[in-house]
Chains A and B, each alone.
Chain A
C-alpha cells in the first residue's frame, strides 16, 4: 500500500484521520490545546472535502448532547475536546455509553483547573475513567492517527457499541511536529466501513423510546450489559488491532512492551513519556541495567492479564501517574496495576510516582533516577512526587 510521509503535529494527525473517516456529524466547541483539531476539520468542511455536518455548539455540554442526538439518529459522529471541556461533558458521557452510542472523541490531555493551567497531564481523562467509555492513550502523532481510525471500528462493533476516546498529550504531542505516515483515503474508508446503527430515532415507521426512566427493577441489568460490552471490547480490540496490522502494516496492542523480555526493572507509564523512557532505558541498558518499559495504551478496558503477565517476572516495578486522585495513596494507573497484580497473586516491590502535572517536564535523567531507586524498592512503598520543588 502506498503511504504518504508527512510532517504533522498531533492535532493535525487527528484532524487528518477525521477527514479520512469522514463522519456524518461533528459537534464541537473549541478549547486549548484541542482547538486546532476542529479548526483544521472546519476547513475540510468549508472546502467540501468531507460530507460532515458541522454543528458549532455553544459549550462542550451541548457538544456531547448534540453528538448523542446525532448518534441516536444513526449518524457516525465525532468530536474533539480537552480538559475543562471534557469535564463539562462529564454528565453526558455516562448517558452516551449507557445508550450504547459509539461516538468517537479525540481528546488532548490537559490539566484540569485549579489552578487553571493549559499544559499536559492526564487528569481530564482519568476523571472520566468510570463513564463507560473506551479510553486509548496515544504516544505520538502516528499512534493518534492510527488509533483514531481503529476507534471507529472498535466502538461500532456489534458486540461492543461503546463510545471511544483517543487522547494525546497536550502541546507535547498536540503541537509537536513529527513524522506521520498516512494511508490512502480509500483504504481508510474501506477499513472503517459503513456505519450500521443498531437503532435509529429517525426510523419513524418503527418508533422507539430512547432514554427511558429505568428504576430498581432494570437499572442493574443495564449496567451489567455495559460491563459485558466492555469485556467484549477486549476481544474486539485484539481483532481490530490485528486487522489494522495486516492492512496497514503497523500492529497495535493494548500495551507496548519495550525491552521487557529479560527486564529486571520495569517502568509503567502512558502516552508521550514512553518516548522519554525508551531513551532512558537505552542509556541504562548500556550501563548494564536490565530496564524495560510497559506502556499502557488501553486504560479502559483495563488489560489486566497482559499487564500482570509482563510484570510478574520483574524484580521491581515503577509506575508513573500523570494525574492525582488525592487519596494520599497512588494515582489511578498504579492503583489499577496493584489491583491487577493482587488478583494474579503477584506481590512485587513497587514504587509509584506522581509526575508531570500541569505540564511539568520529565527528563531522561528523571526516569533514570526512578530506575536507580528501584534497586532498593520495597513492597508497601508510599507514593512520591517526581520533579517537584520541595
Chain B
C-alpha cells in the first residue's frame, strides 16, 4: 500500500494545471490509482468532467498515454487497445509490460456505457475499469442518473411542489459487476486512502478484468463547500450509504464497518441536493431511503458471511 508521503515522491502522471473544480474528487482517486503500481498505465476515459477538464487542446494534464473516444464506450475502446497489445506482444513487436485503465463517470458506466462495460468484462480483457460515481450527470449540469440516490434533487429530478427529487433508488452496479464473476470487484471512496490504494493495488496485481467503483464527491452537483470533500466521502461510509467492500473471486469482504451506523439525516443535512428532504412533511422519503440503505448493507453482510465466514 502506497502511503500519501511515499506517493508524493513518485513521478507524477496527472499534473496540476487541469481545470477540475476546487474540491473535486477525481484528481484524488487518480493519485490513488497511479500510486498503486509502478508499471506504465495507458488510460482511456469516457466523455465527462474528468476528460473535458484535463485535455483542453492544445493542453493536457496527462503524463501517461491517454485516449478519449466517446461517452459510452471507454471499456470497448480499452478492450481494443488491450487486444492490440496482446497481438503485438505475441508477434514480438512490443516488449513492455503495460497496464490498462478505463475510466467513466456514473453516467458513462451505470447508464450509457453499461453494455460496453459488460461486454469488455465478459471478454475477460486484462484491464481495470474504474467508475467514478458522483451520483449524477455532472458534466452536463447535474442531471439524474441511475446512480442518483432516492430523493436527490437534480436538474432532471428537481424537488418541486409535487415531485420531491428522484423517485427511485440507485442501481447497485457493483453487484452487477460481481455477477460477471470477475477476479476482482470493489467499492471504495477517496477519503479512505488506505482502503482505496490497497484495493487499486490488489486490482493491479490481479490479471484479467477488474472493476472498482469509487464514490467521488462533487462540489457543485451536491452543493457543499469545496473544503468538505473528504467529509462528504466519509459520511457516505459512516451512514452505510456507500459501503466499502471487495469481492475477490466471489469472496466478499466488507472493508469498512462503522461501529455505529449514522442515520442518513447526518449526510442529508450537509448537501443542498437533499435540503428539501429535511422538511418534516418529507420524512417518509428519508425513512424509505434509510430502509434501502439498511437493506443493502444487510444483504452485503449476508454475502460476506456466506462466502467468507472468517471475515471480521
A residues near B (Cβ < 8 Å) are 24-25, 27, 51-53, 55-59, 61-62, 65-75, 77, 91-92, 95, 201-204, 207-215, 218
Contacts and interface: CB of A to CB of B under 8 A. Distances in A.
B87 A24 contact: yes
A66 B69 CA distance: 10
A212 B84 contact: no
A201 B65 contact: yes
Contacts of B73: 61-62, 65, 92
7 contacts: A51-B87, A55-B123, A66-B83, A70-B83, A208-B65, A209-B66, A212-B58
Interface stretch (B90-98, B156-164, B256-264, B299-307): B90-98
Contacts of A91: 70
Nearest to B86: A53
B90 to A, nearest CB: 7
Q: Which of B83, B86, B88, B115 counts the most chain A CB atoms within 10 A? A: B83
A212 B57 contact: yes
10 closest A-B pairs by CB? A69-B80, A66-B80, A58-B119, A211-B68, A73-B84, A75-B84, A62-B76, A53-B87, A204-B40, A65-B73
Interface in B205-251: none
A202 B57 contact: no
A64 to B, nearest CB: 9
Given A69-B78, A209-B66, A61 B84 contact: no
Contact of B69 (A27, A92, A207): A92
Q: Which of A27, A57, A91, A202 counts the most chain B CB atoms within 10 A? A: A202
A384 to B, nearest CB: 40
A214 B58 CA distance: 8
Contacts of B98: 202, 204
B118 interface: yes
A202 B88 contact: yes
B14 to A, nearest CB: 11
Nearest to B82: A69
A202 B65 CA distance: 7
Given A24-B91, A75-B84, A77-B84, A68 B57 contact: no
Nearest to A56: B123
A214 B65 contact: no
Contacts of B56: 212-213, 215
Contacts of B118: 58
Contacts of B9: none
Given A58-B122, A62-B76, A69-B69, 13 more contacts: A24-B84, A51-B87, A58-B118, A59-B115, A62-B120, A68-B77, A69-B79, A70-B81, A202-B65, A208-B65, A209-B62, A211-B67, A213-B68
Q: Which of B56, B84, B123 counts the most chain A CB atoms within 10 A? A: B84
B106 interface: no
Contacts of B84: 24-25, 53, 69-71, 73-75, 77, 202
Contacts of A51: 87, 90-91
A92 B55 CA distance: 19
Contacts of A214: 57
B61 to A, nearest CB: 9
Contact of B88 (A73, A210, A215): A73
Interface string B104-116: 0000000000011
